[in-house]
Chain A
Amino acid sequence: MALKVDTKILIVDDMSTMRKIIKNMLSQIGFTNISEADDGATAWPMIENAIKEGRPYEFIVSDWNMPQMSGLDLLKNVRATPGLEKLPFLMITAESEQGNVVIAVKAGVSNFIVKPFSAQVLKEKIDRIFK
């Protein structure tokens, strides 16, 4: 999938601090079309509506640990939806445990990033996903 500056991106994180940090980094990288959701449970209807409107999200950046719907459950919903099987999905977590990586990979994550991370590391992950 081609990477454009207006790639439609959804950041999903329950901490507004993290959403601001990630949005800031994505803007630094050059992206301009960025939306936010404060939980997987908020993100999921946004993703569904975007499909109905014919303007689906092209890249999801989601935290793992959220109170209502985890990033893992959001990923499973995405992967179970026809047309979203290949939607680029970057999982963010504060955990660096091997078990988490394995679980996320099995669920179909595109890549995995551990907090804290820099804009450069985020860019590298994005480049790898979209190469």
Chain B
Amino acid sequence: MSILNDPSMKEIVDDFCEEADSLFNLLENSLNLLEEDPRNTRELEKFGQIIDRIMGAAKSIGATEIALFCELGKTIGYKSSQIKEIPLIEVVVAILFDSLDMLRKMNQSLKAGNNTSMNQLNTKAFATRLNWLSAKFKDIERASCAVPDEKLNQNSIDELMKSLGL
């Protein structure tokens, strides 16, 4: 039985929801800074680090949908931090804003213990969109905090821009 489905572990789930809420604010702050200055790709890396922390705890309590969104957000954050093309970063930031909004709604549903409202969020369609974006970065290998910086070749960037219609 996952922690999420264990009534004796409700306190841990409530704690997770509170912590996730405060980390969502940090994510929003990073995205706001990026919206103001898309060249500040350090904030995308920071976004990846913060969302990774939520992901680990979400996986551990059995909040699989939140964990999936965080995993995709983390990959996109880290990978897009290695690109320099401003129009592409702007697209990424817009999608990450939408993802954050979805994560907040999922967390609210979790807090309320309301599976019905979670189902109404249509997370699958949005996850497909995130997966699509993540796949666009397939040539960028670095997707985590651990592996040192790698330089992307220009062909990969050009292909990525083209596939996004930019």
Contacts and interface: CB of A to CB of B under 8 A. Distances in A.
B56 A18 contact: yes
B59 A94 contact: yes
Interface of A: 14-18, 20-21, 24, 63-67, 70, 72, 92-95, 97, 99-100, 103, 115-117
Interface in B39-98: 49, 52-57, 59-62
Given A18-B57, A95-B146, A115-B56, 13 more contacts: A15-B54, A17-B61, A21-B57, A21-B61, A64-B145, A65-B145, A72-B146, A94-B55, A94-B56, A94-B59, A95-B144, A99-B146, A99-B147
Contact of A65 (B3, B49, B62, B147): B49
Contacts of A17: 12, 15-16, 19, 57, 60-61
Contact of B52 (A72, A94, A99, A116): A94
A16 B15 contact: yes
Contacts of B16: 15, 17
Interface of B: 3, 11-12, 15-16, 19, 49, 52-57, 59-62, 143-147
B100 to A, nearest CB: 18
A103 B62 CA distance: 28
Contact of B144 (A15, A20, A97): A97
B147 A115 contact: no
Nearest to A103: B146
Contacts of B143: 97
A65 B52 contact: yes
B52 A20 contact: no
B53 A65 contact: yes
20 contacts: A15-B19, A16-B19, A17-B12, A17-B16, A18-B56, A20-B15, A21-B3, A21-B12, A21-B57, A64-B146, A65-B52, A92-B56, A94-B56, A94-B59, A97-B144, A97-B147, A100-B147, A115-B59, A116-B62, A117-B60
B57 A15 contact: yes
* Most-contacted residue by chain B among A15, A67, A93, A115 (CB, 10 A): A15
A24 B130 CA distance: 34
